[in-house]
Structure 1
Amino acid sequence: MGKTALVIGGTRFIGRHTVSDLLDHEYDVTIFNRGNHDNPFADDDRVTHIAGDRTDRSALASAAESVTPDVVIDCVAYQPEDVAAAVDVFDAVDGYVYISSGAAYGAEIIPKRENRTPLRPCSDEQAIDDSGETYGNRKAEGDRIIFEAAKSGVNAMAVRPCIVYGPYDYTERLDYWIDRVANYDRIIVPGDGQNIWHRGYAGDVASALRIVAEEGEPGEAYNVGDQELVTIEEMVDLIADALKTEIEVVAAGERELAAGGLAPTDFILYREYPHILSTSKLAALGWESTSLSEAMADTVAEHRESDRNGSEYDPGREAEERVLAILDTL
């Protein structure tokens, strides 16, 4: 009898990659979601879809009873109460994995390590909020629920990704940079170009979720991200290599950007203080990340087939041109 997996979510970005990884490792997969998005696995007889709202406990329990999964991957637990319901409903599975976040960490330490770097607090008000400002707080509270459930014998674990990129990324964060490199030969990067915001390839996050479900220790959290980190300037160079084009990367500091009416934070994937997660704990389970060149090539190839361009993050090319003109006079 084959292994069975229930993926809560499963049709978008990380969930989509997770289903594909599970299928590649001979799991029979059931997707549980509301069905509000196109199902890329609709024609795959190895994948079953159950429609339901994960915030409806009875619907979640019904899915658990119908599937009796060996492992559960929870891609869409955004409120602590979602995690609390899941660890109760799935208290008998071999592995329940909650997707947390590197944003759960509450201290700026390099690198951020599981069991050592403090987590964010979460007030009662934050626990029921749904804004971006409380995202990390709510993810941290979900982690604490995982830890407590494991003490009661539930095989529950958390995986904390950093910024995730890869094919089918509906956030379009990296799409902005790919679009810039594809259309211009001079690209502004903010600051000195050496900013580091740890990123992780979606396919590697997917394999981490499966490996933690199979090999992880209940009550533990595992960071995931590229094992080789690159600066924002090096990231742009990787994109150019994947596009087989040549570009000039121009670093612009706060003063130069201000002359064009811009600030470093106007550029997506810029973070003043480095955000770096240790991945050694996950690697000890046998996990490895994909080479950066391969990961970026896959990401760029899918981008070119999509209609995404990251335009919502565009600081304005005219403003950038003003900054470039100023830098050319220095």
Structure 2
Amino acid sequence: MDTALVIGGTRFIGRHLVEELLEHGYDVTLLNRGNHENPFESDDRVARVEGDRTNDSVLEAAATTVDPDAVFDCVAYYPKDVRAATGIFADCEAYVYISSGAAYGREDIPKREDETPLESCTSDQAVDDAYESYGNRKAEGDRAVVAAAERGTRAMSVRPPIVYGPHDYTERLDWWIDRVNRFDRVVVPGDGTNVWHRAYVEDVASALRIVAERGEAGEAYNVGDRRLVTLEEMGELIADRLGTDVEIVTAGARELAACDIALEDYVLYREYPHVLSTAKLAALGWESTSLEEAMERSVDSHLESDRDGSEHGPDRADEERVLGILDTV
């Protein structure tokens, strides 16, 4: 494969995917509306087609004018988007859909592609834009990929959990980096052993390319850090990169509630462990970045930006009250 069409491609996962494809010799074309700054605007290796991916005629025009070998769908949020794209790009060598670990419908540890069932999706959920139906819609997109493969299209899915790394506009990890960078005592909800699988963004990008090149039609592949860490350990990794000492103070539901904080107010906290098996992807030759290196790049990117994650998490003043309660115990 020599040519790639990236639907999206300018913000986070898509941006790293374009860089991954360029490093491996692909000619890349972006398809997007142009609502966000294009970091590849001055790069003559990257062409761009403007248009709304939800308009089938735009996809049809791209299929004709770009004639890509591989299509990477970074912004398919509704099942109808996947059904349309797999039909329009049916003759391409590969169509890769970014699904989500949220597509899984049962709390297995770990969740495996060929064993753990997916969420169901009603007709109302399929067109809903609420956060609560996100996993349902992604799961239905996965089923559209399987259906396309049964029709002869080489379509595949990649399922990441929460993705982190440079250029992460969600600022979820930035909230924690900011806390560790500014305070010598950081509150962690629960007992510190919470596990929510995460995926470093460059590893997601390499997974997308590898699945396009080596994956099997109709298959889904989980991607995530090969070594998982607890929320407390994540704070320590951040502190190590910042070169600072931090005291991780765990706080239970009772102490937090006394200061008007809920466990769920903390970004990246999940009560029940969310773990994806990545063995299937690793069997294709994919490897993940070491956690130390991934955190180094993430922290450095944070320090070079104005991101602080301030829209997430509880107020520091409320946390200071929690610390005061814990200090008296």
- TM-score, L = length of structure 2: 0.99
Shift of 1:244: 1.1
The 3-state SS of whatever aligns with 2:109 is coil
Q: Counterpart of 1:297 in structure 2: which amino acid?
A: E
Shift of 1:314: 3.1
Shift of 1:144: 0.3
**Match of residue 122 from structure 2:** 123
The 3-state SS of whatever aligns with 1:251 is strand
**Match of residue 233 from structure 1:** 232
Residue 148 (str. 1) matches residue 157 (str. 2): no
- Give the alignment of 1:1-330 within 5 angstroms: 3-330=2-329
Q: Write out per-residue CA displacement over residues 128-177 of structure 1, whole angstroms, 9 at most, x where no aligned residue.
A: 11111100000000000100110110000000001100000000100100
**Separation in structure 1 between the aligned mates of residue 20 and residue 231 of structure 2, nearest angstrom:** 28
Shift of 1:35: 0.5
The 3-state SS of whatever aligns with 1:327 is helix
**Separation in structure 2 between the aligned mates of residue 202 and residue 65 of structure 1, nearest angstrom:** 30
Q: Counterpart of 1:40 in structure 2: which amino acid?
A: P
- Range moving further from structure 2, 205-214 or 239-248: 239-248
- TM-score, L = length of structure 1: 0.99
**Separation in structure 2 between the aligned mates of residue 300 and residue 65 of structure 1, nearest angstrom:** 42
Shift of 1:115: 1.5
Q: Counterpart of 1:127 in structure 2: which amino acid?
A: A
Task: Give the 4+ runs in structure 1 shifted more than 3 A.
Answer: none
Q: Number of residues paired by the alignment?
A: 329
Q: Counterpart of 1:239 in structure 2: which amino acid?
A: I
Q: Counterpart of 1:18 in structure 2: which amino acid?
A: L
**Separation in structure 2 between the aligned mates of residue 244 and residue 250 of structure 1, nearest angstrom:** 19
**Separation in structure 2 between the aligned mates of residue 131 and residue 66 of structure 1, nearest angstrom:** 35
Shift of 1:30: 0.3
Shift of 1:64: 1.2
**Separation in structure 2 between the aligned mates of residue 311 and residue 295 of structure 1, nearest angstrom:** 22
Shift of 1:262: 1.0
**Separation in structure 2 between the aligned mates of residue 65 and residue 242 of structure 1, nearest angstrom:** 47
Shift of 1:260: 1.6
Shift of 1:41: 0.5
Shift of 1:258: 1.4
Identify unmatched segments of 5+ residues in structure 2. none
**Separation in structure 1 between the aligned mates of residue 37 and residue 277 of structure 2, nearest angstrom:** 35
The 3-state SS of whatever aligns with 2:311 is helix
Q: Write out per-residue CA displacement over residues 218-273 of structure 1, whole angstroms, 9 at most, x where no aligned residue.
A: 00000000000000000011111111111000001111111222111110000000
Q: Counterpart of 2:127 in structure 1: which amino acid?
A: I
Q: Counterpart of 1:50 in structure 2: which amino acid?
A: V
**Separation in structure 1 between the aligned mates of residue 84 and residue 289 of structure 2, nearest angstrom:** 34
Q: Write out per-residue CA displacement over residues 276-296 of structure 1, whole angstroms, 9 at most, x where no aligned residue.
A: 000000000000000000000
Q: Counterpart of 1:316 in structure 2: which amino acid?
A: D
The 3-state SS of whatever aligns with 1:313 is coil
The 3-state SS of whatever aligns with 1:276 is coil
The 3-state SS of whatever aligns with 1:312 is coil
**Separation in structure 1 between the aligned mates of residue 243 and residue 76 of structure 2, nearest angstrom:** 39
Identity level (%): 67
- Range moving further from structure 2, 16-25 or 257-266: 257-266
**Separation in structure 2 between the aligned mates of residue 166 and residue 154 of structure 1, nearest angstrom:** 32
Q: Write out per-residue CA displacement over residues 160-201 of structure 1, whole angstroms, 9 at most, x where no aligned residue.
A: 001100000000100100110110000000000000000000
Q: Counterpart of 1:204 in structure 2: which amino acid?
A: D
